[in-house]
Structure 1
Amino acid sequence: MKVAFATTDGINVDEHFGRAGMFAIYEVTRDGYQFVEIRKFAEGRDTAVEETRAQGQIHEDMVQKKVDRLADCKIIYLTEIGAPSAARLAKKGIMPVKVKEVVTIEDSLKNLVDTLRTSPPPWLRKEMDDG
C-alpha cells in the first residue's frame, strides 16, 4: 500500500496537510518499505491553499485537487489537518495520521511496518489483505 508523508524536507513529517508543498510517497508492506516519489504541489509551502481560505469554492477546489492527487495512498502522516480536509480524505478511504511532534519519515515507516507485522488494527489489516 502507498503511504504519504507531509514534509518540508523529505526527511521529517513536519507539515500541515493544507500547507504541505510536497508529500513523500512510500510503498509499504509487512516486509518493509521503499521510496516511490516526491509529489510536489508547490515550491515550499502551498501558500495558494492558505491564501484562498476565505474564498469558498476556490479553496475547496484546491483542497480537493490535493486529495485527488493523493487518492492512491491509504495513509497520510501529517502534523495537522482541518476537519473538512480529513473528511475528504476519509471519503476516499485515506486515513490521516497526526503526529504529536516532528518525527522522521524513517521512524514512522519502521513503526508502521512493526505494527503491520505484529498487531495491525482491523482497518489496516483489511487494507493489507485487500491490497
Structure 2
Amino acid sequence: MSRTLRVIDSATSDGPAPGETPLRIAIATNDMETLGAHFGSAKKFAIYEVWQSGFRFIEAHAFDNVTGQKGKHDDQDDKITPKVEALEGCALLFALAIGGPSAAKVVKAGIHPIKRKDPEPISDVLTQTQEMLRGTPPPFLRKILGTFQKPDFMDEEEWA
C-alpha cells in the first residue's frame, strides 16, 4: 500500500522567476530529512521542485511494501512499479543505490537516477541541485532542461 501527501497551497513559498522552469526531483528517504535509502527499500520519496534561486516541497509518497536493502528482491511481489509510477513528472531521482531492473524502469519512465555514495541531508541535495542549475549543468541535465547544444568543437555533420 502507498500513500501520497501533496502540498495544495504553496503561497508561503516564492516560486521561480518568470521564464525559469523548475526541475522536479525525487529523493529516496526513510525519514524525510535525509537522502538515506536505496530505491527499492525506500519507505518514502520526497518530491521537490528546484530552480536556480530556490526550491519547494511538492509531495511525499510513502510505501508499506518495500524490498529488503540487500540488493535483490526478497519475493515475487512487484514492489518497484508502484514506486516508478509515483515518480511521474520527476526528472531526477536521488538514491543511495538502485538495482539494474529498477534503474531500467526508472530510465524508461524518463527519470535520470543519480546514486549517492553516502547518506546526506535533503537540504544539501537541494542546494547542490541549485548549484548545478546555476552553473554549467552536465549533458544529461541540459538535455532534460531542453538546453542541450552542440559542443563548439563539433561540426554539424558530427552532431547530426
State the TM-score, normalizing by the size of structure 2. 0.70
Contact map agreement 1:29 1:128 (CA 8 A) in 2: no
Percent sequence identity over matched residues?
Answer: 38
Contact map agreement 1:5 1:77 (CA 8 A) in 2: yes
Q: Which amino acid aligns with 2:39?
A: F
For 1:102 and 1:96, the matched residues in 2 are separated by 16
Task: Give how far 1:129 is off.
Answer: 3.5
Larger radius of gyration between Structure 1 and Structure 2: 2
Give runs of aligned pairs for residues 23-38 of structure 1, distance below 5 A: 23-38=45-60
Task: Give how far 1:31 is off.
Answer: 2.3
Q: Give unmatched runs, 5+ long, in structure 2.
A: 1-22, 148-160
Contact map agreement 1:71 1:92 (CA 8 A) in 2: yes
Contact map agreement 1:6 1:77 (CA 8 A) in 2: yes
| CA deviation vs aligned residue, 1:52-99 (integer Å, no higher than 9, x gap) | 6342xx33xx31121011121111111111110001111111111111
Number of residue pairs matched by the alignment: 122
Which of 5, 22, 26 does residue 4 from structure 1 map onto?
Answer: 26
Q: Which amino acid aligns with 2:99?
A: G
Higher helix share: 1
Query: What RMSD, in angstroms, separates the aligned Cα atoms of the two structures?
Result: 1.9
Which of 21, 25, 28 does residue 43 from structure 2 map onto?
Answer: 21
Contact map agreement 1:78 1:99 (CA 8 A) in 2: yes
State the TM-score, normalizing by the size of structure 1. 0.84
What is the aligned partner in structure 2 of residue 107 from structure 1? Answer: 124
Q: Which amino acid aligns with 1:16?
A: H
* Larger relative contact order (CA 8 Å, sep ≥ 6): 1
SS of structure 1 residue aligned to 2:117: coil
Q: Which amino acid aligns with 1:6?
A: A
For 2:62 and 2:118, the matched residues in 1 are separated by 23
Name segments (4+ residues, structure 1) moved above 4 Å: none
Q: Which amino acid aligns with 1:4?
A: A
